[in-house]
Chains A and B, each alone.
Chain A
Amino acid sequence: MALLECKHLYKNFGDRQILTDINLAIPEGKIIGLLGKNGTGKSTLIKLINDLLTPSEGEVLVKGLPVGVESKEIIAYLPERTYLDKSMTVNQVIQFFADFYRNFDSEKARKLLADLDLDPTQKLNKMSKGMQEKVQLVLVMSRKADLYILDEPLGGVDPATRDYILDTILTNFNEGASVIISTHLIQDIERILDEVIFIDKGKIICHEECDTLREREGGSIDAIFRRMFKC
């Protein structure tokens, strides 16, 4: 059984079709890049998997079950925006996660925060946007989840921190779990990907192992992406 399955998934907002007939199966133990230009439906797909949007048609199954409490227990999701209560301190947010997620490791979170020089007694509203994003990443990666979904995890950080973040993702995700990373900074993440999904105009146009794709098309994933999505 696939870890995550999307079956004939459609999403439209009024007359506007955002996703069309998405069929997808994500196995366990893979790092997958969800790649596409801006506004092609990457975040919509991720939001559907995380119950933030309701499908117009089709279904999303996580370990064979529809999206719900069970799927939220095993999916650790990092959205593209800051979503924490900014009046809280980092310590309070850690407690919040520990209260709600059985698979959250508070000690690991504190260790990662210390590595990133983040003060757990500081209030989030006193932190920069970049620091808040790091706190969110730490919280997500401190869960022993089966599936990590990271929407633009490198978007708001400087290039020097990107490598550190990618290492944090690589060294901290639960063994046997899968990771879906949505980004258009392909060059930065290419080295860690097992598979890629190219999405364009709301349709999946390619879902393949990175090595197979590189061999067949010749060149890096970044180069293939640029070729395929040339304006």
Chain B
Amino acid sequence: MLSKLLKYDLKSKLPFLCIFYALAIGCAGLARLFLLFSEIPILNIIGQIFSGAAISMIFNTLINNVLRAWGLFRQNLYGDPSYLTHTLPVRKPAIYLSKALDGLITMTISFLVSGLTLVILYYGTKLWDTVALVLKALPDGRPALTVALVVGVVFLEVLNMLQCGFTGLILGHKSNKGKIGFSVLIGLGVYSAGSLFVLGIFGAAALIDPNMRRFFMTSQSSLFMLEDMHAVLALSAFAYAALIGILYGLNVKWLKQGVNVD
């Protein structure tokens, strides 16, 4: 049943997102094409416009993904379509897992499309080379690992944000008949508490590991200048993964306690 739920969840979200994916890649391609002739002012201007549009489409894919996931979650679990969702012969954890996997899959695709858009836009340009040089010059070296860890942490952070929204909707609906303002407040509260939890993990790690302590004590302003930057990023990834796991368990538990649909 999970695969069927997931199929319909993806069907209701992906066609909409695909428009933004196509626009992001299309704009990046056109920008690159026009910028091949950047010595001609008008073509340079058009290229810059497409370049800006491609970047805004990247943000669009990510923001739309999250907002649409929250909107569909609210509709399917508490709106009119919930009369169908809750009467399907499917367990509540499967309903939640489907929403979570849907978020994971569409977010992965959005990140890949964003990456591809950036490659099309900047590969082989001066900016690309400059960034590569900066990455190589970092104290911890291994630029590929650095990029992978940074992208991984950002990805987990966005997934965490997505799930905080789900928590807000579940608890908001439980406590105040689904008034959306209440759900938003709870979601923000859960997100803030989650951030403190991540900071707490860093604090605990700093008590044990003197290298990690430098993360708090260093006078260097940039995380990227720390020698053990990879360890800090890996710990961030672990903290967010743990947070996502905890929130997932709580959300499933609260959902299993039952709903009250208007």
Contact = CB atoms under 8 A, between A and B. Distances in A.
A105 interface: no
Contacts of B259: 51-54
Contact of A83 (B12, B80, B257): B80
B131 interface: no
A81 B1 contact: no
B14 to A, nearest CB: 13
B8 A96 contact: yes
Nearest to B80: A83
Interface in A11-55: 13, 47, 50-54
B80 A47 contact: no
A72 B8 contact: no
A75 B89 CA distance: 10
B89 A69 contact: yes
Interface residues of A, number: 25
B219 interface: no
Contacts of B195: none
Contacts of A72: 87-90
A158 interface: no
Given A83-B81, A83-B82, 9 more contacts: A52-B83, A54-B258, A72-B89, A75-B87, A83-B84, A84-B84, A99-B4, A100-B88, A100-B90
B182 to A, nearest CB: 15
B42 to A, nearest CB: 42
A112 B86 CA distance: 25
Interface string A70-90: 101101010101111101000
Given A69-B89, A101-B89, A85 B81 contact: yes
A52 to B, nearest CB: 4
Contacts of A73: 89
Nearest to A85: B81
Interface of B: 1, 4, 8, 12, 80-84, 86-91, 177, 257-261
Contacts, number: 59
Nearest to A80: B83
Given A83-B81, A99-B4, A52 B86 contact: yes
23 contacts: A13-B260, A47-B261, A51-B259, A52-B83, A52-B86, A52-B87, A53-B258, A53-B260, A54-B257, A54-B258, A54-B259, A68-B91, A69-B90, A72-B87, A72-B88, A73-B89, A75-B87, A77-B83, A82-B80, A84-B81, A85-B81, A87-B12, A100-B89
Interface string A57-72: 0000000000011101
A96 B84 CA distance: 11
**A-B pairs, 5 with minimum CB distance:** A54-B258, A83-B83, A72-B89, A79-B83, A52-B261
Interface string A131-162: 00000000000000000000000000000000
A56 to B, nearest CB: 10
Given A69-B90, A79-B83, A83-B80, A54 B260 contact: yes
Interface string A82-112: 1111010000000010011100000000000
B19 to A, nearest CB: 14
A84 B82 CA distance: 9
A15 B257 CA distance: 20
A68 B177 CA distance: 23
B12 A85 contact: yes
Nearest to A92: B11
B173 to A, nearest CB: 12
A50 B87 contact: yes
A51 B258 contact: yes
A81 B83 contact: yes
Contacts of B88: 72, 100
A145 to B, nearest CB: 11
Contacts of B86: 50-52
